[in-house]
Chain A
Amino acid sequence: MIHPIPSGTRDVLPDETREARAITDALRGVFERHGYGEVYTPALEYESVLARAPLAEAQPAYRVFDEAGEVLVLRSDMTVPIARVVASRYATVEPPLRFCYFAHCYRGVAPARGQPRELLQAGIELVGAPAPEGTAEALTVLCRALDATGLKDYRIGVGDASLYPALMASLQVPENAREGLMRALVMRDFVELERRLHESGAAPAAVELLLEVPQRRGGPELLAEGPEQAAEAVTGLRRLHELLEPGVAARVIFDLGLVRNIGYYTGAVFDVYDPALGAPLGGGGRYDDLLGRFGRSLPAVGFALGIDRLHLALAGEERGTGALLAHALGSLGGDGELPGPGVGSSATRGSGA
């Protein structure tokens, strides 16, 4: 007999579990070696507590009532629960604090497109370590963790969540137009962005820049070109780049248009890409204001990886396919735009993760 399970969820059987376990063991080893202690938190939280965080698109989707009539939600990520833990359980402990987790999170996505509503995430949170040093540490741990799983060709897109708002402010875009522009950028709709820019009442030169800057992505050389109107964000990225060891720096693609659709990010943000998969494997960034909302104001940074996606990317690399995106390897090595995929991995491995 076939008994149904909720759409967007699935059973994981021994063969898959064995492979996923190998991935999580590799990640856990790296996290532990870098001093990140593993934590568990309840899958259910009070809605009123999680609501302290501006989650934007990552809103919890499942709600239940407990016997006292309180609204409980299934957590949609682990960053907010860990912010709660830091404020309530580590209220007086001297930072920096380092945590890692392996936990299921729940999202209200459309499972018709193969997206899970229950996803296993692995990640770290580094609390009390400001930019750029803390960010550099997180990126280093991220690269070592991915190297330890055996993933070869990954790249990390790095941008800054404050860049575009700063650019809009200094170019004097009327305030009532800014939210719509930001929304178009989050939706990755450059056609809509251009249309809204032309309607925004901003000066023509400003429109040009606001359309062109978020399409800049590439090596560290693009950070030398400004834009001076968002100097703080660009300088921050440049200082971050200076702190990265060569093996990590070789993995980074700077992306001035990178925005993440989770509301709490404040500074550097990142996405993990692999040519074997059409979607990011994970991402993260700085959330320097989030802890303050829980009563212990500390700068923080973290990332989360989707174990299923990481597994898919590893399998894709192994098969040498990854749909037609496998051609990416050719173009990466060929046009000299980025260092060859082998360089970063061997260098990072050589540095002893």
Chain B
Amino acid sequence: MSALGGLTVAVPRGALFDDTVDLLTELGVDTGELRTNDRKLLFEDIGVITMRPSDVPTYVEAGAADLGITGKDVLLEQAAQEGGWGSGPGRNVYELLDLGYGRCTMVLAGKAGPDPAAEALRRLGVMRVATKYPRIAARHLEQTGRQAEIVEVKGSVELAPLAGIVEAIVDLTATGTTLRENNLVVREEIVVCTARLIANPVAHKLKAAAIDELQRRVRALPVSGGAR
């Protein structure tokens, strides 16, 4: 049986990739090819498939991977809105463990100096917010009782307030460097996000022993397990 007990794991490319590969290495997975070949997607011999972090819940929910690792930001964004259409659990996956790494904060930020969002709210009754996380942004502003117009962007969110199309942004920040370089300041912290281990609900039952064993070994690791 392989180091992952025959399980298939969806591994996120991008910011969480290096820490995730380190975790797999500590679990005894031969990650040599995974580290060096960034074009290959399917590493069947070690039970790994790689993809964008935001696709991880999709593949795990469909059962193409038994387990997956992705950021809490992705899970929050893909969770259904409270109430109304599609309320209840969002993605049909189990969230098993907080892996502790990839720590970032979802923040509401705006231009330094007098807050243009406050002025917009006072004079126009609505603030405009650019984000790659429209649901998290909408939920936060709704819960804090502010009317907002959400502008969804795909590229650098920092551009939007500088170009004057919005008064604030909602984005993930690890060190705050990018915000500072663009003369933006954090106005509110919304939620702290770390990497999470998720599981397919059917695999969680049919492969219970293998999943529990892997979870136990991850918890026993000094770095990720202890950081919880």
A residues sitting closer than 8 Å to B (CB atoms) are 56-57, 59, 61, 108-110, 113, 155, 157, 186-192, 194, 215, 217-218, 253, 255, 261, 271, 273-275, 277-280, 322-325, 327-328, 330-332, 334-335, 337-338
A275 and chain B: residue at smallest CB distance? B206
| 18 new A-B contacts at CB < 8 Å, known A278-B63, A280-B201, A325-B200 | A191-B96, A191-B97, A191-B98, A215-B212, A217-B205, A274-B202, A278-B61, A278-B64, A278-B201, A279-B61, A279-B63, A280-B202, A324-B65, A325-B64, A327-B8, A331-B206, A331-B210, A335-B209
Contacts of B8 in A (CB 8 A): 324, 327
Q: Find out whether the CB atom of A273 lies under 8 angstroms from the CB atom of B96.
A: no
Contacts of A278 in B (CB 8 A): 61-64, 200-203
Determine whether B107 belongs to the interface, using a CB cutoff of 8 Å to chain A: no
B residues sitting closer than 8 Å to A (CB atoms) are 1, 5-6, 8, 49, 61-66, 80, 84-89, 92-98, 196, 200-210, 212, 228
B213 and chain A: residue at smallest CB distance? A335
Give A271 to B65 CA distance when docked, in angstroms. 20
A108 and chain B: residue at smallest CB distance? B85
Contacts of A61 in B (CB 8 A): 85
Give A194 to B208 CA distance when docked, in angstroms. 19
In the assembled complex, 15 residue pairs joining A and B whose CB atoms fall closer than 8 Å, in A order, are: A57-B89, A108-B86, A191-B98, A191-B196, A261-B89, A278-B200, A278-B202, A279-B201, A322-B63, A323-B64, A325-B66, A327-B6, A328-B207, A331-B206, A331-B210
Contacts of B205 in A (CB 8 A): 155, 157, 217, 253, 255, 271, 273
Give A179 to B207 CA distance when docked, in angstroms. 29
Contacts of A330 in B (CB 8 A): 6
Q: Find out whether the CB atom of A218 lies under 8 angstroms from the CB atom of B86.
A: no
Q: Find out whether the CB atom of B208 lies under 8 angstroms from the CB atom of A337.
A: yes
Contacts of A328 in B (CB 8 A): 202-203, 206-207
A112 and chain B: residue at smallest CB distance? B86
- Chain A nearest CB from B152 CB (Å) reads 15
- Chain B nearest CB from A264 CB (Å) reads 15
B62 and chain A: residue at smallest CB distance? A278
Contacts of A332 in B (CB 8 A): 206-207
Please tell me which one of the listed residues B64, B95, B204, B209 contacts residue A324 in the complex, with CB atoms under 8 A apart: B64
Contacts of B5 in A (CB 8 A): 331
Give A171 to B201 CA distance when docked, in angstroms. 27
Among B203, B204, B206, find the residue whose CB has the most chain A CB atoms closer than 10 A.
Answer: B206
Contacts of B63 in A (CB 8 A): 277-279, 322-325
